[in-house]
Amino acid sequence: MRKFSKVLLLVLLMALFATTAMAYVSDRYDFGHVDFGGATVTVVGWWDPLEQFYEGGNYAGRLEEAKKLFNIGDIVFLQVPWGPEGQDIYMSRFLAGDSDYDLWMLPHVTYFPMWAAGAIYPVSDVITDDYYTNMPYQHQRMAEILGVDGKKYTFSVFNGINNNTVFLAFNKTLLEREGLPDPYELYENNQWNWETMTEIAVRATRDTDGDGRVDQWGMTVPNGDDWIHANGGQLVSIIDGKVTFTGDSPAVVNALRQMRVWEHELKVMGGTWEKREFFNGQIAFANMPSWQIGQLKESMEDAYGVVPLPIGPDATDYHYPSDNVDSLYIPANAADPKALIALDNFLWRVEEFEQGQQEGFLNQAPDRIAYSILQKGVRNWTGEATYFAWVIGTYYQSIYGEAYNAIMSGEKTPAAAMAEIKPQAQAMLDDALGQ
């Protein structure tokens, strides 16, 4: 009897130890007991965020640790295309019931339509608000902006906006050669605005070899959304809790008018959307996301600097829009959402994200001033991005794209073009979001 009692005690102690081993407290949350029951977790995205955990990576071996800690059969990556084709694959997995242990990497242009289709799980149903107080500012902001109806859907620090925040790169060599003002001095003297930039762009645009054709320009061809944000405007805003088309607001209309002046009246814009001419030293200014700025050190012979997008006439301060707002999401049919969040926390940690972000600033910045500006832009992100481009479009074959082309061609004024599409754009937003 005594022997049986010892065996029973040993079994109970072993069970207690096993249960305790499955309890997990991350840098954000106390998850308690986490057990995947041997299931396979699939991370789906257009690039592999697990590479850093493979042999030779910065955190090699972490996948094996996670599998052991959480009783996971395997953690695998499934690559899908970026954009609509990838979205179809996500939705196919969701509808087929194959996504019960998925983690989905989504850009904001894919997230919103998938949310509207009911495919995204609201993580605020299983984690409390204090979870977000332990996250970097940009991720707290992302959770707010990408939240809907009081629910939050983002939870990860695997990525953020630090590689997609837009700044204005300038060719220092070109400006010095032409005897033009230094944007750093204008910035530090609170004179960095559209007027001063335009003056420089006009003087930088010229024929340098005497063949009668302009081969040096002041600015790259526009990404219109960046300049709309720099003027304090947004095509779509939240007004009284409703997603509202605001493309007819003065800030947007004035930005579109100025873009036409730059491109077609002053003719200071040149090159292609790829900005190769800036890399080749033929353009003074290029609006660029920070990941592309990071390529300048190895790909550009001329010296360069980085300043914020200049302040537009309708803006009161600098704006730092993001080209993409990427994050991880959980499918609405997930078998154990809280366990998937715990796994994310184990793999992608706040301290390591912040270290990587700091290294990114150092790699992207050509000098001390640029380093300070890059930090300020990312850490004071105002939350701007083209969140509803999937509804009204941006360029080419879309309701907004057609209006934009009519403005740039001179067929319609910005005010008339935006007023004309407003009813249809609002109807499209209402329909897509069920407003």
pLDDT digits (tens, 9 = 90+) for 391-423: 888 766 789 999 999 999 999 999 999 999 999
Position 182 scores a pLDDT of 98
Closest to 307 measured CA to CA, from 397, 202, 215, 182: 182
* Per-chain mean pLDDT for the chain: 92
Judged against a pLDDT cut of 60, whether residue 284 lies above it is answered with: yes
Position 286 scores a pLDDT of 97
- The residue assigned the tokens 């959304």 is 225
- b/e per residue, 112-135, with b = 16+ CB within 10 A? bbbbbeebbbbbbebbeeebbeeb
In the predicted model, what is the mean pLDDT of residues 74-80?
Answer: 98
Where residue 432 falls among pLDDT bands split at 50, 70, 90? confident
**Higher pLDDT pick, 114 / 395:** 114
Where residue 10 falls among pLDDT bands split at 50, 70, 90? very low
Q: Residue 110's CB: how many other CB atoms inside 10 A?
A: 22
Amino acid at 137: Y
Q: What percent of the chain has pLDDT over 70?
A: 94
In the predicted model, what is the mean pLDDT of residues 107-120?
Answer: 91
Position 391 scores a pLDDT of 86
Amino acid at 398: S
Q: Distance (Å, rounded) from C-alpha 82 to C-alpha 195? A: 38
Domain boundaries, the chain: 18-162+325-361, 166-319+388-433
- The residue assigned the tokens 């996670």 is 66
Helix axes 414-433, 399-409, angle to 10 degrees: 170
**Higher pLDDT pick, 192 / 2:** 192
Position 12 scores a pLDDT of 44
**Fold: same for 18-162+325-361 and 166-319+388-433:** yes
The architecture in CATH of the region 166-319+388-433 reads 3-Layer(aba) Sandwich (3.40)
In the predicted model, what is the mean pLDDT of residues 193-218?
Answer: 97
pTM confidence score:
0.88
What is the token pair recorded at 166? 């837009």
Return the CATH class of domain 18-162+325-361.
alpha beta
Closest to 72 measured CA to CA, from 22, 28, 29, 13: 22
Query: CA quadruple 22, 23, 24, 30: dihedral positive or negative?
Result: positive
pLDDT tens sequence across 148-173: 888 999 999 998 888 899 999 999 99
Which stretches within 348-413 are classed as H helix?
A: 350-364, 368-379, 389-392, 399-409
Position 396 scores a pLDDT of 67
Contact (CB, 8 A) for 88 and 52 = no
Q: Roughly how many angstroms between the first and final C-alpha of the chain, as a whole number?
A: 70
In residues, how long is the chain?
Answer: 435
